[in-house]
Amino acid sequence: MGNAFRLNAAVAVDLVVLTLGARNAPNDTLCALLVQRLYAPYRGRWALPGGFVQTDESLSTAAVRLLREETGIRADRMHLEQLATYGEPGRDPRGRVISTSYLALVPNLPAPTAGGDATAAAIWSAEQILADPGRLAFDHHRILADGVERARAEFEHTPLATAFCGREFTVAELRRVYEVVWGTAIDPRNFHRKVTSTAGFVEATGRTSTRDGGRPAQLYRAGPATALRPPMMRPQAA
């Protein structure tokens, strides 16, 4: 019976932190927070923030601690949701490591500051990183890809995209957020119809703006909905 509880693997957490734009990337770019590893294995390679869970920590507590230690970014008020668990043999050359990943979608992510076992921390274009499968250490390319796909799905089913707009926004500005996260162009008329007909998604303010160019556009604010019914399906999934 005792053998069943013998620890035969290390437990770790990894974080996929996504935002729009960064110092080295325009605001119309989906970006990921990365750190450069100080120690072997994969010394000098870029990776997702994360590390080993201490014996007295929960997984979520470890995620918050490691994000702060490696990037200087506090996650106390950041919504972290579990993404997936990765435990394939050989994913870490040091031995068997089972890692639970967390996803955060963060507007206005602060500039990171490297610490702990990271020599650098930066916000990179997710598309650029995913285009090079050998760029990240361990299996972090797969984890990042899974995180981007989860984020895209969340934009289908929740009004999260409004958090990446200003307090008041036009439908065109909201559409651009969707286009950046989904990585595809969206038909403006269909999008406008879906947004304004989905209960609780957005609310008209009664004001207009010309910042999109052309005729004055109606300004909206985020509505009270926490889920989109029907969902805003991606063009390729429609």
pLDDT in tens, 178-201: 999 999 999 999 999 999 999 999
* Contact by Cβ (8 Å): 18, 104: yes
CATH topology of domain 158-237: Arc Repressor Mutant, subunit A (1.10.10)
- Residue 123's alpha-carbon distances to 85, 128, 149, 166, 183, in angstroms, are 24, 11, 18, 21, 18
Ranges of each domain in the chain: 2-151, 158-237
pLDDT at 96: 94
Can you tell me whether residue 33 is helix, strand or coil? strand
* Contact by Cβ (8 Å): 50, 59: no
Compute the average pLDDT of residues 172-183. Answer: 95
pTM for this predicted structure: 0.92
Q: What is the DSSP letter of 75?
A: -
Res. 1: pLDDT tops 50: no
Q: Count CB neighbours of 198 within 10 A.
A: 17
* Contact by Cβ (8 Å): 151, 79: no
pLDDT in tens, 96-150: 999 999 999 999 899 999 998 999 999 999 999 999 999 999 999 999 999 999 9
Res. 5: pLDDT tops 60: no
Res. 216: pLDDT tops 70: yes
Distance from CA of residue 1 to its chain's centroid?
A: 41
pLDDT in tens, 57-78: 999 999 999 999 999 999 877 8
pLDDT in tens, 75-99: 877 899 999 999 999 999 999 999 9
For residue 189, report the phi and psi dihedrals to the nearest 5 degrees: -65, -45
Res. 14: pLDDT tops 60: yes
Place of tokens 């609310």: 203
CATH topology of domain 2-151: Nucleoside Triphosphate Pyrophosphohydrolase (3.90.79)
